[in-house]
Amino acid sequence: MIDIKKFREDADFFKQKWAARGLDVDVNEILAWDTEWRESTVKVEDLKSQRNVASKQIGIMKKNGEDATSAMDAVRDLGEQIKELDSKAAELSNKVSSKLLSLPNPPSEFTPVGTTEEDNPEVRRWGTKAEFDFTPQAHWDLGQKLDILDLPRAAKISGSGFYLWKGAGARLERALINFFLDQNTENGYKETWVPFVVNPKAMTGTGQLPKFSEEIYHATEDNLYLVPTAEVPVTNIHADEILDAKDLPIAYTAYTPCFRREAGAAGKDSRGILRVHQFSKVEMVKFVEPSTSYTELEMLLADAEHLLQQLGLHYRVIELCSGDLGFSAARCYDIEVWAPGTDRYLEVSSCSNFEDFQSRRCKIRYKGDKEKKAELVHTLNGSGLALPRCIVALMETYQRADGSIEVPDVLVPYMGGLTEITAEG
C-alpha cells in the first residue's frame, strides 16, 4: 500500500507511476473521498471532545449529589450526532483504504519504463548454452524413459498441472531443496519452517489479496489459503512488530510447496512441468533499513545466481520493466535458466524490492537507538530457487546421448553418492 500522506501531497506523481504500469487511476476520486473523510473527522473529533468534557462534568455533579438530568439529555443528543458522523467517516475511510489496497506499488526510479515483457532489458548472462552432438531431448521425454517422472499418474490423482517423481527423480527434488537451504544458510539466511496454510490477513499483508483471489487456493470452510509462495508466511513473521534497528538486516530462508491455480494459463508454456499447480520452492526474505534496500537487492540477486553457478547451469538475468512488474514490487530481477531440450530460458527466480509497500500493509517497523520514531522497514524477497524448472534445466543440460543424466558434482553428496541417473535405476 502506498503512503496516503505522500499521495495527498502529489497525487500526479502516483498517477504517472501507475500509468507506467498501464493503469489509468482516477486519483481525483480518491482525493475527494480523503478530503471528505478528513472534514468529517474534524467534526466528529470536536464533538467527541465536547462529550468527554461534559461527561466528566456529569461525573463530578453526581459525586456532589447534584441533579445532572438536563446535562445528560444534552450529551445524549451529542452522542446521536457522533454515531451518525462516525459511521459516515468510517465508510469514507473504508472506501479509500480498499481502493489503495487494490493499487500496485509504484515502480522505483531505477525501473525501466515499458509495457510488456518484450521491453525487459537483459542485465547479464552467465555461462553458455550447452552444446550437444545429438539432439537434446525435453525433460518430459527424458523423465518418462528414465521412469522418474510420471505425469499421467499425477493427473489421475490430482488433475493436470501436477507432477509425480519416482526413484532418483524424487531424490533429486529432495536433494535440491537441501542444497539450496544449506547454501542460503551459509550465506547468512536463517532457516525457518513455516505454515503452508495462512489466513486472509497474511495474504493481504504481502499483496496477494484482495486483487488476486482467483490465483490462490482457498479452503472456504476455514477461510484459509494455501501459500502461493513462502514469501507470504515468512514476511508475515514480523507483522505488527517493531524491530530493533540493530537487529537489521534480518534474513530468512524457507522451503515450502507453492500452490497456484494458474487460472487462465492452461496451454501456455504448460508442457511437462514448466507450469504446475504445486511446486517446491526455497525462498529468501529480507527485512532491511530503507537506505540499504537497493544494495541488499543486488546481494540477494547474487546469492540466487550463485546457486545456479554451482550447479553449472547457464542463465541470464533480466530486469522487469514497469509494465511487467509484479503487483507489490518496486523493482524486480528475474533469473532465467537455459533448458536446451525445451529450447527456452525458464524463469527460476524473481528477486524483488518491495520498499515499504508490504511493510505498510503488514505493519513491520523498526526503531533506532534514540528518540527516533518507528519507521517502516523495507522488505525484499527472491526465490533461491524454484525447483521444477531447475530440475528441467539440470535434466536437459546434463543429459547424454543414451538418455541418462549426469549428476552435477555439488549434488552428488545430496543424492547419496549417486553420480548418474540411468534407466536401470
- Distance, C-alpha 266 to centroid of its chain: 23
- Which of 6, 23, 29, 49 binds RNA (CB under 7 A)? It is 49
Q: Let me know how many helices (H) and strands (E) the chain has, helices first.
A: 12, 16
Give the binding range for RNA (CB under 7 A) out of 23-31, 46-54, 245-253, 263-271.
46-54
Q: Is 344 in the active site?
A: no
Closest separation between CB of residue 373 and RNA, Å? Answer: 5
Q: Determine whether 240 is exposed, middle or buried from the number of CB atoms within 10 Å of its CB (0-12, 13-18, 19+).
A: exposed
Closest separation between CB of residue 53 and RNA, Å? Answer: 7
Does position 6 interact with RNA (CB under 7 A)? The reply is no
Cβ atoms of residues 116 and 324 within 8 Å: yes
Does position 195 interact with RNA (CB under 7 A)? The reply is no
Residue 5 vs 124, nearer CB to RNA: 5
- Which of 4, 11, 100, 177 binds RNA (CB under 7 A)? It is 4
Which is the catalytic residue, given 45, 241, 347, 406? 347
Q: How far apart are CA 302 and CA 117, in angstroms?
A: 22
Closest separation between CB of residue 223 and RNA, Å? Answer: 10
- Which of 15, 38, 261, 316 binds RNA (CB under 7 A)? It is 38
Residue 49 vs 116, nearer CB to RNA: 49
Closest separation between CB of residue 315 and RNA, Å? Answer: 39
Does position 113 interact with RNA (CB under 7 A)? The reply is no
Q: Enumerate the β-bridge partners of residue 365.
A: 242, 376
Q: Is 275 in the active site?
A: yes
Give the binding range for RNA (CB under 7 A) out of 71-79, 247-255, 300-308, 329-337.
71-79
Q: Residue 140: name the closest of 123, 159, 164, 157 by CA.
A: 164
Q: Is 174 in the active site?
A: no
Q: Residue 126: name the closest of 335, 316, 347, 303 by CA.
A: 316
Does position 422 interact with RNA (CB under 7 A)? The reply is no
Q: How many residues bind RNA (CB under 7 A)?
A: 31
Strand order across the beta sheet in which 375-376 lies: 241-244, 364-367, 375-376
Which is the catalytic residue, given 275, 331, 360, 365? 275
- Which of 369, 402, 416, 424 binds RNA (CB under 7 A)? It is 369
Q: Is 347 in the active site?
A: yes
- Distance, C-alpha 84 to centroid of its chain: 39
Give the binding range for RNA (CB under 7 A) out of 13-21, 286-294, 306-314, 363-371.
363-371
Hey, which residues between 371 and 390 contact RNA (CB under 7 A)? 373-374
Give the binding range for RNA (CB under 7 A) out of 35-43, 148-156, 190-198, 277-285.
35-43
Residue 218 vs 261, nearer CB to RNA: 218
- At 296, list the grid cell: 541488499
Residue 204 vs 399, nearer CB to RNA: 204
> Considering all CA atoms of the chain, what is the largest pairwise distance in Å, rounded to the nearest integer?
104
DSSP 9-39: H-HHHHHHHHHTTT----HHHHHHHHHHHHH
Report CA-CA distances (Å) from 131 to 164, 219, 340, 401: 29, 47, 8, 12
**What does DSSP say about strands 250-259 and 122-126: parallel, antiparallel, or unpaired?**
unpaired
Closest separation between CB of residue 200 and RNA, Å? Answer: 12
Interface mask toward RNA for 227-266; x: CB under 7 A: ---------------x------------------------
Residue ranges of alpha helices (H) inside 246-332 are 293-311
Q: Which amino acid does the sequence have at 228?
A: P
Q: How far apart are CA 387 and CA 127, in angstroms?
A: 20
- Which of 6, 28, 29, 76 binds RNA (CB under 7 A)? It is 76
Cβ atoms of residues 317 and 120 within 8 Å: no
Q: Is 117 in the active site?
A: no
Closest separation between CB of residue 244 and RNA, Å? Answer: 10
Report CA-CA distances (Å) from 302 to 307, 331, 357, 363, 382: 9, 15, 23, 28, 10
Q: How far apart are CA 173 and CA 411, in angstroms?
A: 11
Residues at the interface with RNA (CB under 7 A): 4-5, 38, 41-42, 45-46, 48-49, 51-52, 54-56, 58-60, 62-63, 72, 75-76, 78-79, 242, 365, 367, 369-370, 373-374
**Which amino acids are annotated catalytic?**
260, 275, 347, 350, 389
